[in-house]
Structure 1
Amino acid sequence: MAVFTAVSLDDLTLLLKKFPLGNAIAIKGISSGIENSNFFIETERGEYVLTIFENLSFAQLPFYLQLMRHLAERGVLVPAPVPDESGELVVPLHGKPAAIVSKLEGTSQMAPQPVHCAAVGAMLARMHLAARDFPLQQPNLRGLDWWNDTTPLVLPFLDERNAHLLRAEMHFQSAFAACDHYHRLGRGPVHADLFRNNVMFVGERLTGFFDFYFAGCDTWLFDVAVTVNDWCIDLATGVLDSSRVRALLDAYHAVRPFTADEQAAWQPMLRAAALRFWLSRLYDLYLPREAEMLTPHDPTHFERILRERIATPAPELFA
Structure 2
Amino acid sequence: MAVFTSVSLDDLQEWIKQFPVGQVSAVRGISSGIENSNFFITTDSGEFVLTIFENLGFEQLPFYLKLMKHLASRGVLVPDPVSNQHGDLVTALHGKPAAIVSKLEGSSQMSPLPVHCAEVGAMLAKMHLAASDFSIRQKNLRAAEWRHATVPEVLPFLDADRQRLLKAEVHFQDALEASPLYRSLPNGPVHADLFRNNVMFDGERLTGFFDFYFAGCDTWIFDVAVTVNDWCIDLESGALDEARTLALLNAYHSVRPFTEPESLVWQAMLRAGALRFWLSRLYDFYMPREAEILTPHDPGHFERILRLRETGPVPPLPYFSA
Which digits, 9 at most, give the CA deviation of each residue in 1:20-46, with x for residues without a partner? 111111000001111000000000110
The yes-or-no answer on 1:55 pairing with 2:71 is: no
Secondary structure of 1:17's counterpart equals: helix
Which digits, 9 at most, give the CA deviation of each residue in 1:150-175, with x for residues without a partner? 11110000011111110111111111
Aligned counterpart, 1:201: 201
Aligned counterpart, 1:81: 81
Secondary structure of 2:19's counterpart equals: coil
Aligned counterpart, 1:121: 121
Aligned counterpart, 1:131: 131
In 2, the alpha carbon distance for the partners of 1:123 and 1:53 equals: 26
In 2, the alpha carbon distance for the partners of 1:7 and 1:14 equals: 13
Query: Which runs of 4 or more aligned residues in structure 1 lie more than 4 Å from their structure 2 counterparts after TM superposition?
Result: none
Aligned counterpart, 2:293: 293
Deviation of 1:145 (Å): 1.1
Alignment of 1:19-34 (within 5 A): 19-34=19-34
Which digits, 9 at most, give the CA deviation of each residue in 1:124-149, with x for residues without a partner? 00000000110001000000111111
In 1, the alpha carbon distance for the partners of 2:247 and 2:97 equals: 39
Secondary structure of 1:269's counterpart equals: helix
Aligned counterpart, 1:152: 152
Secondary structure of 1:38's counterpart equals: strand
What is the TM-score normalised by the length of structure 2?
0.98
Secondary structure of 2:305's counterpart equals: helix
Alignment of 1:275-286 (within 5 A): 275-286=275-286
Structure 1 unaligned spans of 5+: none
Match for 2:42: what amino acid?
A: E
Aligned counterpart, 1:70: 70
Deviation of 1:15 (Å): 1.4
Aligned counterpart, 2:303: 303
Aligned counterpart, 1:46: 46
Alignment of 1:223-302 (within 5 A): 223-302=223-302
Aligned counterpart, 1:318: 318
Secondary structure of 2:18's counterpart equals: coil
Aligned counterpart, 1:182: 182
In 1, the alpha carbon distance for the partners of 2:294 and 2:109 equals: 22
In 2, the alpha carbon distance for the partners of 1:295 and 1:120 equals: 24
In 1, the alpha carbon distance for the partners of 2:139 and 2:229 equals: 21
In 1, the alpha carbon distance for the partners of 2:85 and 2:175 equals: 50
Match for 1:56: what amino acid?
A: L
In 2, the alpha carbon distance for the partners of 1:44 and 1:294 equals: 29
Aligned counterpart, 2:11: 11
In 2, the alpha carbon distance for the partners of 1:31 and 1:248 equals: 28
Conservation of the 8 A alpha-carbon contact between 1:139 and 1:217: yes
Match for 1:206: what amino acid?
A: L
Conservation of the 8 A alpha-carbon contact between 1:267 and 1:313: no
In 2, the alpha carbon distance for the partners of 1:59 and 1:171 equals: 31
Q: What is the aligned residue count?
A: 319
Structure 2 unaligned spans of 5+: none
What is the aligned-residue RMSD (CA, Å)? Answer: 0.7
Which digits, 9 at most, give the CA deviation of each residue in 1:186-216, with x for residues without a partner? 0000000000000000000000000000000
Deviation of 1:244 (Å): 0.3
Deviation of 1:313 (Å): 3.0
Which digits, 9 at most, give the CA deviation of each residue in 1:201-251, with x for residues without a partner? 000000000000000000000000000000000000000000000000000
In 1, the alpha carbon distance for the partners of 2:138 and 2:210 equals: 18
Deviation of 1:289 (Å): 1.2
